[in-house]
Structure 1
Amino acid sequence: MLAVLALNPGTVISHDELCDELWADASLGNARNALQAHATRLRRILEASAPERPGARVLRSVHSGYVLDVPADTVDGNRFLTLAGQGAAALRASPAPAAVLLQRGLDLWRGPALLDAGDGMRCRAASALFDERRLTCWEDLVTARLAMGDEREVIPELRRLVGRYPLHERFCEQLMVALYRSGRQGEAMELFHRMRLRLTTDLGLEPGRALQRRYAEILNHDPCLALTA
């Protein structure tokens, strides 16, 4: 219940929507009473965790549902999306400030998105969104650090990401660039061939155009791979 409300702070979520999210696949005799009991327990927990706001109703009941009455930026998920968006916007013009924003966003993560929040449609959709934005944020952070000339420093992190997401071509491409700029052309080319084998074996697909183009650039020592001032 808290996860659903926190995804939309300041917005009323109706009783029916909350019941569908919590018990869509279950048969309850009186879902409204069960929801009220959940809300009572949750309110006690929230109020006990905020002694600096005595008497404040963080979780409010309205005629049609419930609302979590907190600023949007007090929810880590919203803060992450804001920082990731700001970092992406700053990336082209200012890679160093962009890297700071993107790293701050990634530092908010403590594990899988919405862990133990249930299998309701809202939580599943939000979890997928957060996971996708996390990958994009990692990509943007590596792009910023490569633009700053940190190719040697990002290699260990990129190896970890490639190991964790073995079919994610963008991480492979970025690691190839970092290796090439570090004077390790052979390793970069070998990495491409391993990715190609994995894609053809697991998915029956050839590498995408971007990855194939990057391989050709590395093979031919294309000047575009050099770090520009």
Structure 2
Amino acid sequence: MQFSVLGSTEITNDNTPLELGGIRQRAILAYLLLNANKVVATSQLLHAIWDGNPPPTARKMIQNAVSAIRRTLTTNTDPTTTATLHTHAPGYQLRLNTETIDLYRFRRLVREGRHATATNNPHHAADLLHQGLALWRGRALADLVETGITWSEITAIEDERLSAIEDRLEAELACGRHREITPELEILTATEPLRERLCHQFMLALYRSGRQVDALRVYRRTREALIDGLGLEPGRSLQELQHRILEHDTKIQVPALVG
């Protein structure tokens, strides 16, 4: 049995998606998955599902949803991936191997990718980060977001994704793949104009592709977005890159480790 939150909430058994019921049951399952192996207080679930304004029958609704989730878990046909949902004061605990949850596999691969970067192995880093990002099937908990749920955890997970993308692009640059990633960076910097690290990577990729004028144009565009959106000038790293591009600094040319 496998669990997915990097996209719509989903449980699969033998690669077959299982019926999860209504949105309330899906939301409770998702919240328990985000807090796998931890005790989640009923009060936390009440706040998460009803945004701090639960109806009088809310606790009973949670009990019914938990019972339904337990029935779904009993359909598991793989004894190596057992998941159990326990009543544990002051609430509930979903016990399972976190490797069965795509979010936790993603986080493990990102950690391994960052370690590969730190040990000067960008090719392996890029591969690991690509594997992790390939687990995503859309926005995190997309089915819940569509109903208006706005958990801070969802925003945090989406930021993890963007950070992992930036880490992968950094590894790709270290491998000398600046031309290959330029189109992707063009899209990302258009959708995330205030992320300076993406801008830095885009400028570097353009410069290494012989497009100095375009790289400087990206700097000006980002600077305008930062001033208009946040009232801030670009950070030191971005300003230094602009100066190095203007001076044709050899230190920002294609690295020696290329393959």
Per the TM superposition, whether the score is higher than 0.5 is yes
1:189 CA drift (Å):
1.1
Matched position secondary structure for 1:91: helix
User: For the residues of structure 1 that align with 2:84 and 2:188, how far apart are their CA atoms?
Assistant: 39
How far off its partner does 1:222 sit? 0.4
Deviation by residue 1:154-205 (Cα, 9 ceiling, x = unmatched) = 1011111111101211111111111111111111111111222222233332
Match of 2:154 in 1: 127
1:10 aligns with 2:37: yes
Q: Does the 8 Å contact 2:47/2:54 carry over to 1?
A: no
| CA distance in structure 2 between the partners assigned to 1:200 and 1:218 by the alignment | 22
| Range with greater deviation from structure 2 (94-103 or 65-74) | 65-74
Taking structure 2 as the reference length, the TM-score comes to 0.79
Q: Does residue 71 of structure 1 match 2:79?
A: no
TM-score (norm 1): 0.88
CA RMSD of aligned residues (A): 2.1
1:151 paired to 2:151: no
- Identity fraction in percent: 38
Taking the aligned partners of 2:222 and 2:156, their CA distance within structure 1 comes to: 26
Task: Write the distance in 2 (CA, Å) between the matches of 1:215 and 1:73.
Answer: 43
| 1:148-227 map, 5 Å | 148-227=175-254
Work out which structure has the larger RCO, using CA pairs closer than 8 Å and 6 or more positions apart in sequence. Answer: 2
Alignment CA distance shift 1:66-1:175 (3 Å):
same
CA displacement 1:26-81 (0-9 Å, x = unmatched): 34223321111111222233334x2345xx76323345432222101111111111
Q: Deviations over 1:62-103 (max 9, x none)?
A: 454322221011111111111111111211310011111111
State which of 118, 121, 124 in structure 2 corresponds to 1:94. Answer: 121
- Distance in 2, matches of 1:18 and 1:130, equals 19
Aligned counterparts of 2:50 and 2:105: Cα–Cα separation in 1: 29
- Rounded to whole Å, the distance in 1 between the matches of 2:166 and 2:60 is 46
- Show structure 2 runs of 5+ residues with no match: 1-27
Cα deviation for residue 10 of structure 1 reads: 2.2
Among 132, 135, 153, the residue aligned to 1:105? 132
Within 2, Cα distance between the matches of 1:113 and 1:208? 30
Partner AA of 1:205 in structure 2: L
Instruction: Give 1:135's aligned amino acid.
Output: L
How far apart, CA to CA, are the structure 2 residues paired with 1:6 and 1:196?
Answer: 40
Equivalence for 2:84: 58
Counterpart selection for 1:81 from 100, 107, 111:
107
Aligned length: 224
